[in-house]
Amino acid sequence: MTEPVAYVNGQWGPLAQARVPVLDRGFLLADGVYEVIPAYAGRMLRADEHLARLERSLAEVRMGNPHTRAQWLDLLGRLIRENGGGDKMVYLQVTRGAAAGRGHPFPENLPPTVVAFCQPLPLPSAEMREDGVGVIAVPDIRWSRCDIKAIALLPNLLATQAAKEQGCNEALLVRDDRVTEGASSNVFAVLDGTVATPPKNNEILPGVTRDLLLELLRGAGVPVQERPLGLAELRRADEVWITSSTREVLAVARVDGQPVGAGRPGPLHARAWALFQDYKRRVLI
């Protein structure tokens, strides 16, 4: 394996040696946004949609975009090549930059910090795919702008760690008895043959995988609904799935130790997974 290569503010070098200043507002204040883009055999899936979400996140936190869409595509393309291609999760982060000190107000005319690197794409194992995974339900303690892909992830990390400690793959976040999304995924439930997922609003990250899956399901004539999902409803659903750039579409077999439906990935999950794989083959070859 070649040594991982990172991009930091125009410079390329070994990831293990990549540095930003202590005064960077990303480090001190979590003042920044990020994206994760999956690449298969060296080619990014839905890069435009990820870059559009980045543009939106930046605008919502009143930061300029350091690059045009074409420049981002060049930069990330080179990053993947420098890292030997293959199946990668491409990570990029933009912070408000490093100022002279630590103040809360936005400094004027500060160049942003841009960092990008790759890691192997941590797709679910064959066992997870075939058996499904366990999840827990925890209170959603996040702020009310979850639509922004901000680097401040402590509530998500606490939920993820709680799931891990219970041998689970994901934590579903619950606000006012509604399941909003996972700590790092969107959530879907199958009820009476209809696929339901919470609507895009300030309570969830507009997942690129979520949108793609909805498009594929609609295209295949599967009934879908974007509507709030009650936790009680989710517990009695026939199937539950989670989606993300690194999980694709993964079946949930247990919620808080209780089986979902038959306790195995269901038939609509098999359909959704096949639609997703077929889409990848079509656009990436």
User: Could you list the active site residues?
Assistant: 149
Could you say whether residue 25 binds ligand PMP (CB under 6 A)?
Answer: no
205 binds ligand PMP (CB under 6 A): yes
Residue 196 interacting with ligand PMP (CB under 6 A)? no
Q: Contact between 36 and ligand PMP (CB under 6 A)?
A: yes
Shortest approach of ligand PMP to residue 118 CB, angstroms? 15
Residue 113 interacting with ligand PMP (CB under 6 A) = no
Our finding on whether 175 is near ligand PMP (CB under 6 A) is no
Per CB under 6 A, does 57 bind ligand PMP? no
| Burial (Cβ within 10 Å: 0-12, 13-18, ≥19) of residue 207 | buried
For the CA atoms of 140, 142, 146, 148, the dihedral, rounded to the nearest 10 degrees, stands at -150
User: How many whole angstroms separate alpha carbon 233 and alpha carbon 204?
Assistant: 18
CA distances from 201 to 27, 69, 204, 277 (A): 28, 25, 6, 28
Among 243, 249, 252, 269, binds ligand PMP (CB under 6 A): 243
Interface with ligand PMP (CB under 6 A), residue from 25, 88, 210, 269? 210
Q: Which residues contact 194 (CB under 8 A, 6 or more apart)?
A: 223, 224, 225
Burial class (CB in 10 A: 0-12, 13-18, 19+), 168: buried
According to the binding rule CB under 6 A, does residue 209 interact with ligand PMP?
A: yes
Residue closer to ligand PMP, measured from CB, 175 or 210: 210
Contact track, ligand PMP, 132-171, x by CB under 6 A: ----------------------------------------
Name the residues that contact ligand PMP, by CB under 6 A: 36, 181, 184-186, 205, 207-210, 243-245
